Structure 1
Amino acid sequence: MAAPVKRTYTSTLRADQARRTQQAIVAAAARLFVERGWGQATIDAVAEEAGVSRKTVFTSGGGKVDLLKLALDWSLVGDDEPVPLAERPEIAATMRLSDPETFLAGWARILTDINKRVAGLHRVLISAAGVDPAAQTLLDEWETQRWSFTAGSLVPHLQRLGALRAGLPPEQAIDIMWLHGDPIVYARLVLERRWTPEQFEVWLQDSLVRQLLAP
């Protein structure tokens, strides 16, 4: 009976160690991508920053695009747990709100928190997409997922509440929410124009309410 327990214990330790190694590598890659840019954040630099070998970077995280994808995915949800964004407690709670303005206020808060984490990496992705076809594919997938979530969950929720402004086609409402949720908008106002995240959240909520809801 003791042997299986020992094997399970050893396997768990190895899995935990592998996870910590991957976390360190992805965190190092994310820092270097933002600080140095796509071209200067080499695999060798990531390995040195994470304190591992070049081979370990590839076996644990993959190439540069793979590392950028992991960094973006983890930044989107805030951790490396395999739980989709839509199933996160804050998202689920917001999607249950029945007051349209409260719903949009909650979504503005969520978007602001997300963009605090992803805006810098998203700018790196745009830069990488200009020189790397795999990064362009990743950018296309990112935008498709963002639009699909808006079209499949956010605007339909407002429609079920009967809250959309009269004369506003649902397709246009989707585009409005999709545009306002673009990390580029956050980057322009907060990272470049030096708005505070709190100012951005207030502006985002007000903009969504004014453009989407009936007076």
Structure 2
Amino acid sequence: MSPKRSYVSPLREQAAARTREQILQRATELFASRGYGLVTVADIASAAGVSAKTVFASVGSKSDVLDGIVSLGVAASGHEQAVRQVRAQQTPEAVMDVLARGTRAGNEEHFSVHEAIHKALPVHENGEALWQRATADYRDALRTIARHLHTLTPPPSCTEQETADALWFWFGPSGWRALVVENDWPWDRAEEFLRRTAAATLYRRP
């Protein structure tokens, strides 16, 4: 007699996926607004309309929930398409325009995810590794853009590595957060300022 195969209903799988998504969305909102350290699994369960047992069964511990949020953020970053759009530009001015607009759009769209991760870093047991995983693709994308800038005429006035570091300083999540969150700038103003500052600095001649 052959062993019985377990049958998993597609509808049940879809319902489980929706529950997991709901839990992660509500947890993201709570972590972003209150901070990771002040949110409990019970809080997440209440916001998602499920039991704490369901949170553990669907996602795991609070640390697992944060890990899931990071994974979703990385998957939804769209960095490959953004890099293609920037590399299609053939003048430094066009690159700066598309880069500022694209990183603004990504940071604005995924603002709550970035805030949830940022506020978890001081209290999470693996905060540094978490941040590196959350931003690795982002930083690699800016390195690729720096290389592209150095193929154009004129090239930036600094080295390729310095260009990559500067792009991360201006257009990485910390740069946007410093202006929009810490200084309460509108996104439009921040975008124009970062674009203008980057262009003026990278192409300053002695």
- What TM-score bracket applies, with the shorter chain setting the length? 0.7 to 0.9
Residues 95 and 103, structure 1, Cα contact 8 Å, conserved in 2: yes
Aligned match of 2:45: 47
Residues 116-131 of structure 1: pairs in structure 2 closer than 5 A: 116-131=108-123
Aligned match of 1:85: 78
More deviation, 97-106/112-121: 112-121
TM-score, normalised relative to structure 2: 0.82
Amino acid at match of 2:132: D
Matched, 1:112 2:110: no
* Structure 1 segments (4+ residues) deviating >4 Å: 75-78, 118-121
Residues 121 and 128, structure 2, Cα contact 8 Å, conserved in 1: yes
Amino acid at match of 2:16: A
Aligned match of 1:35: 33
What is the CA RMSD across the aligned residues, in angstroms?
Answer: 2.6
| Aligned equivalents of 1:109, 1:120: Cα separation in 2 | 19
TM-score, normalised relative to structure 1: 0.79
Residues 128 and 136, structure 1, Cα contact 8 Å, conserved in 2: no
Equivalent of residue 175 in structure 1, options 165, 186, 191:
165
Higher relative contact order (CA 8 A, sep 6+): 2
| Aligned equivalents of 1:143, 1:131: Cα separation in 2 | 18
- Note the residue ranges of structure 2 that are not aligned, 5 or more in a row: 1-6
Residues 100 and 163, structure 1, Cα contact 8 Å, conserved in 2: yes
- Corresponding pairs, count: 199
| Aligned equivalents of 1:117, 1:71: Cα separation in 2 | 14
- Note the residue ranges of structure 1 that are not aligned, 5 or more in a row: 1-6, 79-83
Equivalent of residue 63 in structure 2, options 53, 62, 65:
65
Give CA-to-partner distance per residue, 1:85-123, whole Å, 9 cap, x none: 3333x4422332222211221111111122224455445
